[in-house]
Every structure is written in structure tokens, then in C-alpha cells.
Amino acid sequence: MTYQHVAAPSPLPEAALSHDAWIAAIRGLRERLGGYEDLSGDGAGPGAEGPNARAVADAQRFLDLLPRGIGLPGIAPVSDGEVNFFWKTPRAHLDVGFYGDGNMDYYARCEELDVDDDGSEVFDGRVLPVAIAKLLNAL
């Protein structure tokens, strides 16, 4: 499989989704993530690479930790091997990425929290880093 444009789902507030719809939406995103392991860089140009198995596994664990009170993220593979999650709302912008190196890279902008920052946090797949949890709740 090669890279192709992946349309981001429209961010939907949790209130717009029933419990069953939320579970179905997360299941659909998990399935999409699972397909990223089969991506090759051939369709993305010279030097491109698909996400490795650990990047996909980290992304799936992150997805499982998302609080129901936020909109669904857009997700996309990036040609440098990253799996990327993104949200853009009137209140905040958040990009979170995984390369499979045990870290979560992010860019965040949120006026409410006075944040315009990028960085990296250790990600063990069991809990969200505090900074990321605060940003997710600000969406």
C-alpha cells in the first residue's frame, strides 16, 4: 500500500455522539491505524517511509486513552514515519505524533491556557502526560 490523502473526520463534540457511536468511531480509527503498518514510502516520494509497528502501537494506545469529552481527531501517516493526530477548534490547535521511539511529540496552541509550544513527552501507553491531558480538555 502507498500513501494516499486521508481525510480527517470533522471534530464532533462528545455530546453529539452516543456511547455506541463513540465506540464505533474509535474502532474505525483503530482500524485505520492498523493499516498504516502496510504503508510504504514508494508513493510519497524519495526518502519517504511508512510508520513502523511501534509507532502504530503507540498511536493505538494513545487513541484508547482519549477522553470522550473531546472531538475525534484527524489522523494521518506522515512521510517521515510519524503517525499524527490533529485537532483544530476555535479554542485550540493540537498535533500529536508518534515515531515509535517511546516519545510523544506535539505542537499545541491554546490562548485559554497561554500555550504556543512544541515539545516531546515520554509515552508509556498507560497514562496521558499531564500537559497533553490539559490541552485535550481545552479543545
- The count of structural domains within the chain is 1
Q: pTM (2 decimals)?
A: 0.82
Which residues form the domain of 79?
14-138
pLDDT in tens, the chain (139 residues): 333 434 344 444 444 678 888 889 999 999 999 888 877 655 555 677 889 999 999 999 999 999 887 889 999 999 899 999 999 999 899 999 999 999 999 999 999 989 999 999 999 999 999 989 989 988 8
Question: Does residue 7 lie within any of the structural domains?
Answer: no
Q: Give CA–CA dist 31/38, Å, rounded.
A: 12
Reading phi first (left if > 0) and then psi (alpha if -120 to 50, else beta), residue 42 is in alpha
- Whether 81 is covered by a domain: the verdict is yes
Q: Which set of grid coordinates corresponds to residue 98?
A: 508518534
The answer to the question of residue 4 being in a domain is: no
pLDDT at 44: 52
In a domain, 33, yes or no: yes
Residue 8 lies inside a defined structural domain of this protein: no
pLDDT value of residue 17: 76
6 is a domain residue: no
